[in-house]
Amino acid sequence: MEWFYIALLSPALFAIVNIIDDNLLRNVYRSPFFGAIISGFFALLPLLGLFFFPLTISSPTIIFLGLLAGFLTVISYLFYFHALDVESPSVVIALFSLSPAFVPFLAYFILDESLTSSQYIGFVLILLASFTISAINIKRFKFSKALYFMIFAALLYTLVAICGKYVYNALDFWSGYMYFSMGMGLGAVFLSVFFREGRRFLGEFNKSFKKWILVFISAELIGIAAEFTNNLAISKGPVSLVKVIEGIQPIYVLLFALVFYPLFPKYLREAAYGSKQKKLLAMIVILLGLYFINK
């Protein structure tokens, strides 16, 4: 069950990235395209490892699926940033926490992956509790553009998970992850070249982003670590369970808020909203779900 502990680390890292992204989008980024493009280009950094580790050349189908997984990840980031641009992080995280519900069905038919009865129980408990802990923050829900953006992001998120698992079943992890990183770079190039807002990226970056460079580097390095651990967990464990465990991200957001809110209330104010008692109950349900998964 090594994958289980790796899977627990990924949402903690993504929680940090989510908090930083929300503040960057409100205070720095001129467009949702910028966040997706930056993430895509920074994702090329792991390719430096090719100087030290060999790359396995697989069949064209496997290479294509690896590249596609990375490419679609960047496109899903674009929808994610669009959603953050029009809706609060609470709503975005709540909608995104439901996306693992799609994974088991595709994993069963495409990967022939099935879970035990206790794992299915854990899956459902975590899925519902993750949504609940995010929805507690929502004072009023309405059908906004964020819903459509997150539906597309969730569908892409599911395809990325299935493609990634298929690749890792056929290749060693390192080679599969290199193709994934290349795909993210291609996604950044695609957004930078074929969209008007994307073409503004380099000019805006040179003019107004220099003073934020340390924040960008820190956020993107954490983002790379999050994607790396997420892919490593997928390569080792059932993709359905890895993805639902990723949904416990709201727990980490809440924990970070409780620890750092007194120091940075301006940047963590929303994560600290909502009923603490209800969140605590949802956290207990999530822990129960993790127990069933790891049973």
> From its phi and psi, is residue 74 left (phi > 0), alpha (psi between -120 and 50) or beta?
alpha
Q: How confident is the model at residue 251, as a pLDDT?
A: 76
| pLDDT tens, position by position, 162-188 | 999 999 999 999 999 999 999 999 999
Domain count, the chain: 1
Is residue 175 within 8 A of residue 58, CB to CB? The reply is: yes
Amino acid at 211: K
Q: How confident is the model at residue 262, as a pLDDT?
A: 58
Q: How confident is the model at residue 229, as a pLDDT?
A: 94
Is residue 271 within 8 A of residue 254, CB to CB? The reply is: yes
Which pair of structure tokens corresponds to residue 91?
Answer: 């709503």
Is residue 85 within 8 A of residue 25, CB to CB? The reply is: yes
- CA gyration radius, the chain: 18
Q: How confident is the model at residue 143, as a pLDDT?
A: 52
**Dihedral in degrees, nearest 10, Cα atoms 202, 206, 211, 216:** 20
Q: How confident is the model at residue 60, as a pLDDT?
A: 92
Q: How confident is the model at residue 25, as a pLDDT?
A: 63
| pLDDT tens, position by position, 68-108 | 999 999 999 888 888 877 766 666 766 676 677 778 878 88
Q: How confident is the model at residue 123, as a pLDDT?
A: 83
The stretches in the chain having pLDDT less than 70 are 1, 22-30, 87-91, 93-95, 97-98, 133-146, 203-211, 260-279, 294-295
Task: Count CB neighbours of 20 within 10 A.
Answer: 18
Q: Which domain holds residue 58?
A: 2-293
* Reported pTM: 0.82
Look at the alpha carbons of 61, 225, 138, 83 in this order and tell me if their dihedral is positive or negative. negative
